Each structure stands twice: as structure tokens, then as C-alpha cells.
Amino acid sequence: MKRLSIILLGLSLALGLQARRQNVIFETDMGNDVDDALAIDMLYKYAKEGNIRLMAVMLNKEGQFPPRFIDLLNTWYGQKRIPIGLSGRDEGSLVAGSNYTQVVCEEKDEAGKPLYRRSIKDYSRLLPAPKLYRKLLARAKDHSVTIVSVGFSTNLALLLDTPADEYSPLTGRQLVEQKVDRLVTMAGHMEDKNFHEYNVVNDIPACQRVYNEWPTDIYTSPFELGLQIRYPARSIQNDFTWTAHHPIVDAYKAYLPRLEDRPTWDLTAVLYAVDAQDFFNVSAPGRITITDEGSSLYRQEAGGRHYYLSVTPRQASRILDYFVQKITKKP
């Protein structure tokens, strides 16, 4: 009887953890900046710890190497079943440093074989991101999904436009309204109306549509927040002695051959979405408008569904310590 009670208690705890676990879809322009790679490292670890279910990685960066790189990461982190959605973009986006997704995918070991294994045999069978969104959202419980978008808004705008299909009789907008709890974005600049932030200007019409039409709350981590918290190059150089090779470290070094501290734009969005604690200050509800030039304008508004994040210097220091501890932890 005692043994049965222990088993039942264990099942109850497991079910409780499962009920509290967030469903997260990660929307990323992986390859344009290395903060995307640091951010997805955090998500893999949250998933392993049981804090989230990482439902998919959606790419809004075009090209053959971003999906291969995500496949490589899925495999390295022991998460090879996580589906990958292909970018709906058909235009090239600028890359400030080297395309680290290609560099890491093409790395070889001493025998001349790929340094990091991949699991997918045929990348042409991957679904476009809007289609994969529909497939996954249709299966999800109502208001159970958090989307973390740290790149362009292209896929999200395309999702809103999707019609009923084999996955759901709902339109994309209806599906989002029914299944998504909130959207957490890295975008814009709330302190400088003349600043045209990268994620916004790479697809201004799509970003405008998302802020105008997205039917759930939107929480935005703006450019100025991530700029205050810079991931230390010394950590990349010194804190990964527990492994001979690490794809995120290799990506960082490929992107920045002369190592330097890097702003944590995308990491802050992930942190708020999964483990916000008291790290952030959240604005009053309002409305964020994207101008035709790419400015981000916030106006407080009763009943508004848009919020943006900010931090004090003390919060920024605590967040940086958290990032270093999380990212350097063995997965």
C-alpha cells in the first residue's frame, strides 16, 4: 500500500509539472547575429529542465544553412524530434559578421568528417513555417502557446493570412486567437523614435501587420534593453572547458573572430517568456505602432494589448549573471 501511495504521488507530481510546462515556439532569423544562437541554447536547457515544451523552431532567415544548423543543434542537444519550419522570406537579409550557420555546419574533425552530426536526411520535406504553425497550433490546447519571435515578422504575418486547411477549419488569425496565449518579441526602440531597428526594417509591412492585427497580448523587448546587457567574450573564451567542441561557442567565434562582448537582444525576450522573475519592468498597457520608415512608437492606452520591457542597472547586472550561469551550464 505504501509503495502504491509513492507511485501515485510520483504520477501526481509528474502530471503537475506537465500541466505547468509552457508550450513555446521559437521564431528566429538564425544566422544574422549570434544572439539567436545564445537564446536557443537557453531554450534547449529550459526544455531539458522541464520548464517548457519547445514545440518548434521557425526560421525567418532564408537559405540552406539555417535549417541545417538548427538540425545540428537539435541533434547535439538531444532534441532531434523538434520540428523546423522554413522561412517564408524570399529576400536576402544583411549579415554583419560571417554566416556562422554555414561555418559550423561545414566544420570537420581530424578525420575530415563533419564535426557535428545532423539527423534530417531530406530538408526539402520540411514544411514552410506558416504551414507548420497551423499544424502545431491546431493540436494545441486553447491559449496554451507562447511564441517567442526574435527576428523578422514575415512568418507571423503570413500565418495570419492562412485559410482553413487540412489541419484546422479556422483562419490563421482565428487559430492564433484561440491557441496562442501571448507573443513575446525582440523588436523596435521605444526610447528613440528616429531609430529604425533591424528586425523591424527587414520587413516593415509584416511588422506593421503584426502590431496592428495580432489578436493576443504582445510583450516587446526593445533594442535599448539588450544593448544594456552584453554577454562577456571572456565567458566564451574560458567557461566551456567541460567540452572539447561546442556549436554555440564555435558560432560565436565564427561570427566575431575578434571576440567582443555582445548585446543580449534575443536572450532577454526568451528570459521574459520563460523565467521573468522580477528581472524586468513592464510598461502600462498600450499600443505600439510601426511607421512606414521603421520607427516604433508606443502610446499608453487603456485596454491596450501591447507592452514593452525595461530594466534598471541593478536588474541588468542580475540578468547578465543569470545568462552566464545558464549558458555555460552543461546541457
pTM: 0.93
Average pLDDT on 132-137 reads 98
Residues 137-166: pLDDT tens digits?
A: 999 999 999 999 999 999 999 999 999 999
The C-alpha cell 518548434 sits at 56
46: helix, strand or coil: helix
For residues 11 and 297, which has the higher predicted lDDT (pLDDT)? 297
| 160, 176 Cβ separation under 8 angstroms | yes
Residue 213: which pLDDT band, with cuts at 50, 70 and 90?
Answer: very high
Is the pLDDT at 93 greater than 70, yes or no? no
pLDDT tens string 218-227 = 999 999 999 9
Nearest by Cα to 269 from 174, 125, 115, 151:
151
Placement of cell 567582443 in the chain:
260
Query: Is 9 a residue whose pLDDT tops 80?
Result: no
How many whole angstroms separate alpha carbon 120 and alpha carbon 47? 21
Structure confidence at residue 283 (pLDDT): 98
Per-residue pLDDT at 21: 87
Average pLDDT over residues 240-264: 96
β-bridge mates for residue 84, sequence order: 57
Strand partners, 230: 263
Parallel/antiparallel/unpaired status of strands 296-300 and 230-231: unpaired
User: What pLDDT sits at residue 91?
Assistant: 66
Q: In which band, very low, low, confident or very high, does the pLDDT at 321 lie, cut at 50, 70 and 90?
A: very high
pLDDT value of residue 95: 56
**Concatenated DSSP letters for 191-254?**
S-TT---HHHHTTHHHHHHHHHH--SEEEEE-HHHHHTSEE-HHHHHHS-TT-S--HHHHHHHH
Q: Is the pLDDT at 97 greater than 80, yes or no? A: no
Residue 18: the pLDDT is: 44
Looking at the domain 20-328, which fold is it? Inosine-uridine Nucleoside N-ribohydrolase; Chain A (3.90.245)
As given in the structure block, the three cell numbers for residue 98 are: 560571417
User: Which residue type, as a one-letter code, is found at position 241?
Assistant: T
Whether residue 80 contacts residue 51, with contact meaning beta carbons closer than 8 Å, is answered with no
**Distance (Å) of CA 319 to CA 96, 189, 269:** 25, 20, 12
Mean pLDDT (the chain, rounded):
93
pLDDT at residue 19, as a whole number: 46
Are 58 and 133 a contacting pair, CB within 8 Å?
Answer: yes
Residue 9 CB-density burial (10 A; 0-12 exposed, 13-18 middle, 19+ buried): exposed
Identify the bridge partners of residue 25 per DSSP, sorted by sequence position.
56, 147
Closest CA to 306 of 184, 189, 204: 184
Q: Residue 92: its pLDDT value, please?
A: 62
Sequence-distant (≥ 6) Cβ neighbours of residue 49 within 8 angstroms: none
**Coil, strand or helix: which one is 160?**
helix
User: What are the domain boundaries of the chain?
Assistant: 20-328
- Over residues 92-101, the mean pLDDT reads 68
DSSP, collapsed to helix, strand or coil, labels residue 237 as helix
- For the record, the C-alpha cell of 209 comes out as 501587420
Contact (CB, 8 A) for 28 and 58: yes
Q: Cβ of 90: how many Cβ atoms within 10 Å?
A: 7
Residue 274's nearest CA partner among 45, 31, 28, 19 is: 45
Amino acid 60 reads N
C-beta separation of 23 from 144 below 8 A: yes
Asked whether the predicted pLDDT for residue 53 surpasses 70, the reply is: yes
